[in-house]
Structure formats: C-alpha cells, structure tokens
Amino acid sequence: MRPSVIVLAFNSEGTLGATLRRARLVSDELFVVDSGSTDGTAKLARSLGATVVEHPFEHYGAQRNWAIDNLPITRLWQLHLDADEVIDDKLVAAILALPEDPEHSGYFLARYVRFLGRVLRHGGMSPTWHLRLFRTGEGRCEERIYDQHYILESGTSGELAGIMVDDIGMSLTEWTARHNRWADGEVAEQDAKQTGGRLQPDARGNPAQRKRFLREKYNKLPLFIRPFGLLVYRYFFRLGFLDGTEGFIFWILQTFWFRFLVDAKIWEKHHVARLGGQ
C-alpha cells in the first residue's frame, strides 16, 4: 500500500520536517494544507517533496473535510497526520505490508503524546486510538469544533501495529492559549448536542466510539466535581504519576485545568443567561 499523505499545518516549521520525512517512507504523494503560515512551513514542505495548498482555517473538522474533497488525490488510500505527528518504524512496516485491497476500509493508529520532551506512557491516554488511514471515498471527519474523529461511511475498521508520536513542541504559553480556545469549542459542542454526521458512542464499538461513550458519561457528571475525579483517575488509578515531572504538569493542565476551564465557561454562559432573564 502506498497511500496519499495529507498533513494540516500552520506555522509548523519546527515539527513538520520530522513528520514529512517519516511520511515519505510510506508514500511519494504528500500534501500539506497550510492555513496561512508566516514562518518557513511552506518552503520546508516543498523542499521535502510535498505539494502545498493554501486554505483558510475555520476549524479542524472543516479543514480536514476540505482536504478530502478538494485535494488532487490519486491514491486508493489516505493517511491523515497533523504537522507534529511522527510515525515509527513498526507503523511504517505495517502500512507497507497492507495490500491495496485489504480486509478493512480503515485502520486505527495508536498515538502517544510527547510533552516537554517526554513520551507519556501512562494515565489512560497512552495510547489513544485514531482512525487516520482509510480508503479514499470512505472516510470523513466529524464537523466538530473540538475533539474531532474520522469516521467511516461504510465498511469495517481494524488496528495496525506501531505508533505515531504527537510531539507537542510548543511552549506552555502557546499550549494554554490553544486550550483556552478549544475550551470555547467544547462548550459550544456540549450546548449544541448535535448527532448528525457525528461519531456514535458505543461501549462495545471501535476505539473512538468507546472513547466517545466515556466522554458522554463524563459530560453527565456535575460541573466542577468531574475534573477532580478525572484527575484522580488518570494520575493515580491509571498511574500517570509514573510519567515524572513532565507527566505531573501534563495531567494537572490537560486533565484538571482544561476540564475545569470548560466547566467554568459552561457555568459562566448559563449564569449570564440567567441574569439576563431576570
């Protein structure tokens, strides 16, 4: 199998090189969808053999689906990556070993996070599974503002050996700024309660469906209490403390601070609405 590789990028000069060099091991058809980078992202991508296409960014779901619908893809399969995700040797071999017409229509890949230079191995998020390799014409991305997953329009899915590492190379200042914006997106998603074109939660489904099932259960818990419970679960019960200082910072920020911020914004929105109705 030699899939087309599609990478979303924005000011990704620091990480894109490693992503594309590894992606070239599975394909010579590389696309980078750039949303107006002001650094050397586009020049770097072209130097590594990628076709660069500019498209304004609305949100991740819309950008991913625009790429699926508009890029001049010629291959029967597509591999979708972010500009900071690097595939390892075992995953490269697993992709190349697939025939052009395999058993499934899509494959889930295991993703680990590298945070402050350390690959996190514990905490219940190591790995997470993402549908990133699928037959052309069979995959779409949810039109969600935050926490989007690809879904198959038909056929079955499997899982591949090997991993991709999400190398979070940005500063904590940028990381928290992005999560502040994503918290707004999560609030909008929880208020919208849309189901059309969305991943359906299923406790016995594929990895993404199981994750969404657990997220739905989490969303039904009381505001402000649930971030504390999630932190205790991930840091202590799922052994997040074994990831050292880097893990401690990650679990406090990602599991507690970010989720507490989401709850605070939900409370603020409803509080302002109540005051306006008085």
In the prediction, which pLDDT does 9 show?
96
Q: pLDDT digits over 143-175, tens only? A: 887 888 999 999 999 999 999 999 998 899 999
19: alpha, beta or left? (left if phi > 0; alpha if psi -120 to 50): alpha
Per-residue pLDDT at 277 exceeds 70: no
Per-residue pLDDT at 58 exceeds 80: yes
pTM (2 d.p.): 0.92
Question: Which residues, including other chains, have CB under 8 Å from residue 67's CB and lie 6 or more apart?
Answer: 6, 8, 31, 33, 53, 55, 80
The closest of 71, 55, 61, 109 to 87, measured between CA atoms, is: 109
Per-residue pLDDT at 44 exceeds 70: yes
User: Are 136 and 106 spatial neighbours (Cβ–Cβ below 8 Å)?
Assistant: no
